[in-house]
A = this chain, B = another copy of it.
Amino acid sequence: MSPSETPAPEIAATPEPPYYAVIFTSSRTEGDRGYGSMSDEMLRLAAARPGFLGVESAREGVGITVSYWRDLESIGLWKRDADHLAAQRLGRETWYEQYAVRIAKVEKAYGFQREKLNTAPPVSRSAGRSGPATAGR
């Protein structure tokens, strides 16, 4: 996924636990083969589902996408969504060498946000990144 195709990478602003995380770790096959556009489309569809709380994603050799959900029911409904089922099939047929899915209940969460110091040079792209990483910290 190129930066122009996807939203800016962010730390998800999730509510106080408990909630659920789906940890999807994958290694890709060679070449895009439609993966980037389908991946973006799945993120858009997932974000519109009831119970979706946020997502974090990075690929550097291995790809890790963690999506956060209100409960197991929300996760199950998204897993069985027709468009998502088609994408899962294409993933096994075409895009993924290997993947692991882990469904986990988030029991505790905390975070850190650097204060904007006068000693740091102003960086324009840091605008809008202030505020808590997770709600309720």
Evaluate contact between A11 and B23: CB separation under 8 angstroms: no
Nearest-neighbor residue (CB-CB) of A112 within chain B: B99
Copies, count: 2
Stretch at the interface among A35-43, A44-52, A53-61: A53-61
Evaluate contact between B100 and A11: CB separation under 8 angstroms: yes
Q: Known contacts A9-B60, A11-B25, A58-B60; is A109 also within 8 Å of B103 by CB?
A: yes
- Chain B residues in 8 Å Cβ range of A3: 61
A133 adjacent to chain B (CB < 8 Å): yes
Nearest-neighbor residue (CB-CB) of A99 within chain B: B112
List CB contacts (< 8 Å) of A83-136 with chain B: 91-92, 96-114, 123, 126, 129, 133-134
Evaluate contact between B133 and A99: CB separation under 8 angstroms: yes
